[in-house]
């Protein structure tokens, strides 16, 4: 598996917990900083996040092993 894609998937899964409201940018005059909870993740989302986290962990372990060589 591609370690970079796995890392991105893990980051996206972590970030999926809270999303900014649409139109909540700094120039909208309100709503900035307000968060809305996303719906419960599906089984596919959970499996993808878990696979991404495992792949990122393995990539980090390989990188650490290369540094120690």
- Write the DSSP assignment of 23-47 as a string of letters: T-STTSSS-TT-EEEPPPPPHHHHH
The whole domain housing 32 covers 3-68
Q: What's the pLDDT at 32? A: 47
- Counting the structural domains of the chain, the total is 1
Contacts of 32 (CB under 8 A, 6+ apart): 24, 25, 26
SS3 content of the chain, % helix, strand, coil (to 5): 55, 10, 35
Q: What is the pLDDT of residues 4-60, one digit of tens each?
A: 877 777 777 777 654 444 555 555 444 444 455 557 778 888 888 999 999 999 999
């Amino acid at each position: 598996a591609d370690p970079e894609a796995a890392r991105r998937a893990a980051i996206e899964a972590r970030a999926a917990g809270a999303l900014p409201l649409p139109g909540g940018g700094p120039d909208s005059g309100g709503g900035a900083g307000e968060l809305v909870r996303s719906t419960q993740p599906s089984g596919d989302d959970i499996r993808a996040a878990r696979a991404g986290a495992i792949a990122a962990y393995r990539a980090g372990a390989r990188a650490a092993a290369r540094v120690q060589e």
